[in-house]
Amino acid sequence: MNIAVYPGSFDPVTNGHLDVIKRAARVFDKLIVAVLVNPSKTPMFSLEERVEMLKDATAEIENVEIDSFSGLLIEYLEKVNSKIIVKGLRMVSDFEYEFQMALINKKLNPEVETIFFMTSNKYEYLSSSIVKEVARFGGCLSDLVPDSVIEKISQKLKD
């Protein structure tokens, strides 16, 4: 069984993330979307909220599982018996960082492969950071995130 892991902070999940998830789910037997605890970031949503948003957004995709982890991705891959990392690329600037991460993961475990999915053109500008910025200034979030996420962002900004 080909098990792939798509790691990220998903704060919040965007339609660009969902595009990569849906496409990767067609390629692999099982896709684990793994929400990471990143101590260098201050997320808008808690780990539990991000996991729940992803579960809601991917409920219709049978071979997708949502999980979370902290620490090294390589250790998480070993835990779930995977040797495949899925990453989405929007722009050339993403590639530089993701290439560096792929190389260090390969050094830590030479059996691990990173597979890059190019984001669909309609999402190449989209990031969680941009979604939060648009939301903070009252902009329209439709077509950027799932409807259920719009509600959660609105509620979070009211708190």
Active site amino acids: 17, 41, 90, 128
Enumerate the known binding-site residues.
9-10, 17, 41, 73, 87-90, 98, 123-129
Looking at the DSSP assignment, which residues form a beta bridge with residue 67?
A: 34
Instruction: Give the CB-side neighbour count of residue 17, counting CA atoms within 13 A.
Output: 28
Antiparallel, parallel or unpaired: β 3-8 and 30-36: parallel
Residue of 64, 78, 71 whose CA lies nearest to 20: 64
Antiparallel, parallel or unpaired: β 84-89 and 113-118: parallel
